[in-house]
């Protein structure tokens, strides 16, 4: 009998396993697919062409986790770091954004000064949220010293920013990114690119409340974009190697069918093949709806809690396009070096908002927002010599498409390539193979309910002590012995690892207590 079973070998499940095994627990990780990594995985999508199949940029991985698990010694290295963001213009008048610095033919001194100030306060506000990433959230409605101290620490971190920044933090954190950027900047291309950070991966438009909060989340670990050598799967493989070194057992092709209970206590799991594994502690890195509604069953939950889980917002809205190319695409106005950065097609905030409007009515956007990377410029292991891979996040594409994805997928793919071709006119002649993963595909292939990056929409009412819901926000569930460690828990999605480590620490503390 193992001490702890972890359901799901995504990066958070692997981080949790590594820390528990390091502390001496006997840990078994059960991964449904034939390789670990979840959404952070590298796979071949055409002969000789490999791609980071879902997540494709590294910008949130916690530095403490990297050091504590010695991921570099387990093979993790970067093919490129500190990538700039290129705000793409059809005529080639692009804007390069790197930290507080912006460069471009139409960048004014006023916009550069505004960018310096915007980056200063957004980085400071993001650091306040980042300081919460590695902490178990305080409980609501309790008077314990630990929870009161945690809330007091949060209040003090906000207060010590000073009167001006504290007031602005409280003013803008929950509002929409459109109003903030409209206050600060004149350049429409710049505003469009900056607004993407408030909506990418979320079911929000630029005028939606919480979009500033989402932008701060993206910046909460520093906001520097990197490409791992070998793709995002290299991150997961390094974490898995660390967990194995500490003694964790990782079993792939082992899908869990249901949780086993001994009265009101979790006692283990049953696999799809009928095998039963017993453990006093089970940790799920699956999304909350899958964990409670499918693996456990709502009949084992108090009605109010089950109702909260049912109404979690988890509607996926991002598709993933992969192109195998016989040559490097030529983007108007970009050289090869610049093409290796993060490329954004979002020419204005109104363009971004119009793209979102379709999703509200169950339609895909015919003129979507697109985030493009060309990892093969930096990493020759992902494509044959002289050939290239294009990886793109495409927003918006709702999971519950009104006309159904089986009918719409081809038309959507063509529409996306048409948009890219406005910036790289000859790209169609270079395409050897195309793969489009809709949110429906992401849900099925990576076992993420709703196909949502964050498992649960990232918003103020689904954050910190309310993520995923009160009663399960400290990683422990209402069912004794069942814990959560996935992106649906605090602090949310992105390849970060903090939810996995926080859950492990909470379990270890409970066991010591």
In 275-384, which ranges are continuous DSSP H helix?
288-289, 303-310, 336-339, 349-360
pLDDT score of 143 = 65
- Quote the pLDDT of residue 358: 93
Beta-carbon count within 10 A of 316 CB: 27
Predicted pLDDT of residue 139? 74
Per the CB < 8 A criterion, the answer to whether 96 and 256 are in contact is: no
Strand partners, 115: none
User: Domain boundaries in the chain?
Assistant: 4-40+61-78+230-313+455-512
| Sign (positive or negative) of CA dihedral 94, 97, 101, 107 | positive
CATH classification (class only), 4-40+61-78+230-313+455-512: alpha beta
Q: What are phi and psi of 304, to 5 degrees?
A: -65, -40
* One pLDDT digit (tens) per residue for the chain, 513 residues: 689 999 999 999 999 999 999 999 999 999 999 999 999 999 999 999 999 999 999 999 999 999 999 999 999 999 999 999 999 999 999 999 999 999 998 899 999 999 999 999 999 999 998 998 998 887 766 667 776 677 777 777 777 778 888 888 888 888 999 999 999 999 999 999 999 999 999 999 999 999 999 999 999 988 899 999 999 999 999 999 999 999 999 999 999 999 999 988 999 999 999 999 999 999 999 999 999 999 999 999 999 999 999 999 999 999 999 999 999 999 999 998 999 999 999 999 999 999 999 999 999 999 999 999 999 999 999 999 999 999 999 999 999 999 999 999 999 999 999 999 999 999 999 999 999 999 999 999 998 988 898 999 988 888 888 899 988 889 999 999 999 999 999 999 899 999 999 999 999 998 764
d(CA 342, CA 332): 15
Query: Taking Cα atoms as reference points, which of 153, 189, 183, 185 lies closest to residue 168?
Result: 183
191 contacts 185 by C-beta, under 8 angstroms: yes
Q: Transcribe 255-304 into DSSP letters.
A: -EEEEEEETTEEEEEEETTS-EEE-SEEEE-S-HHIIIIIII-GGGS-HH
Beta-carbon-side half-sphere exposure of residue 348 (alpha carbons within 13 Å): 7
Strands ordered across the beta sheet of 431-437: 101-103, 95-98, 85-87, 342-345, 369-373, 388-395, 318-325, 431-437
Interior CA angle at 134 toward 131 and 136, to 5°?
Answer: 110
Q: List, as one string, the DSSP characters of 28-54.
A: EEE-SSSSSBTTS-EEEEETTEEEESS
Contact criterion met (CB below 8 Å) for 134 and 64: yes
DSSP one-letter code for 463: S
CA atoms within 13 A on the CB side of 248: 29
Nearest CA-CA partner of 190 in 102, 302, 269, 263: 102
pLDDT attached to residue 264: 87
Residue 413: is it exposed, middle or buried by C-beta count within 10 angstroms (0-12/13-18/19+)? middle
* Residue owning tokens 């989402």: 214
């Amino acid at each position: 009998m193992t001490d702890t079973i972890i359901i799901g070998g995504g990066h958070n499940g692997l981080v949790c396993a590594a820390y528990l095994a390091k502390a001496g627990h006997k840990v078994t990780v059960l991964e449904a697919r034939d390789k670990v990594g979840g959404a952070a995985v590298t796979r071949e999508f055409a002969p000789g062409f490999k791609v980071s199949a879902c997540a494709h940029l590294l910008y949130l991985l916690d530095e403490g986790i990297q050091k504590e698990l010695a991921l570099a010694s387990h093979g993790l290295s970067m093919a490129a770091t500190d990538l700039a963001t290129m705000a793409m213009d059809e005529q080639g008048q692009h804007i390069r954004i790197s930290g507080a610095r912006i460069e471009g033919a139409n960048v004014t001194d006023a916009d550069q000064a505004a960018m310096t100030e915007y980056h200063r306060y957004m980085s400071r506000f993001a650091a306040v949220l980042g300081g919460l990433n590695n902490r178990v959230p305080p409980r609501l409605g309790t008077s314990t010293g630990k929870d009161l101290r945690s809330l007091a620490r949060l209040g003090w971190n906000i207060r010590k920013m000073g009167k001006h920044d504290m007031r602005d933090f409280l003013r803008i954190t929950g509002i929409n990114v459109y109003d903030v950027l409209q206050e600060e900047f004149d350049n429409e291309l710049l505003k469009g690119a900056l607004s993407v950070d408030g909506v990418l991966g979320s079911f929000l438009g630029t005028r939606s409340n919480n979009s500033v909060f989402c932008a701060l989340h993206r910046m909460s670990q520093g906001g520097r974009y990197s490409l791992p050598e070998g793709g995002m799967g290299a991150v997961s493989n390094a974490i898995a190697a660390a967990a194995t070194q500490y003694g964790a057992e990782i079993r792939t092709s082992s899908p869990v069918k249901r949780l086993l209970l001994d009265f009101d206590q979790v006692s283990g799991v049953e696999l799809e093949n009928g095998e039963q594994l017993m453990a006093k502690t089970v940790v799920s890195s699956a999304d909350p709806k899958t964990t409670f509604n499918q693996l456990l069953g709502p009949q084992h939950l108090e009605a109010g809690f089950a109702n909260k889980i049912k109404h979690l917002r988890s509607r996926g809205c991002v598709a993933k396009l992969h192109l195998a190319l016989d040559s490097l695409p030529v983007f108007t106005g970009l050289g090869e070096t610049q093409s290796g950065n993060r490329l954004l097609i979002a020419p204005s905030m109104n363009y971004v908002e119009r793209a979102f409007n379709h999703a509200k009515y169950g339609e895909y956007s015919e003129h979507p927002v697109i985030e493009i990377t060309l990892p093969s410029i930096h990493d020759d292991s992902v494509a044959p010599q002289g050939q290239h891979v294009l990886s793109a996040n495409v927003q918006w594409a709702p999971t519950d498409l009104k006309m159904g994805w089986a009918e719409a997928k081809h038309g959507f793919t063509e529409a996306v390539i048409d948009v890219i071709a406005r910036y790289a006119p000859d790209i169609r002649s270079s395409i050897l193979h195309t793969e489009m993963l809709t949110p429906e595909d992401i849900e099925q292939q990576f076992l993420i309910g709703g196909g949502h990056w964050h498992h649960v929409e990232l918003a103020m009412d689904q954050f910190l002590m309310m993520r995923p819901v009160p009663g399960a926000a400290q990683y422990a569930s209402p069912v004794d012995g069942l814990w959560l460690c996935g992106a649906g828990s605090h602090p949310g999605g992105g390849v970060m690892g903090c939810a996995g480590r926080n859950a492990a620490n909470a379990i270890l503390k409970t066991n010591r207590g």
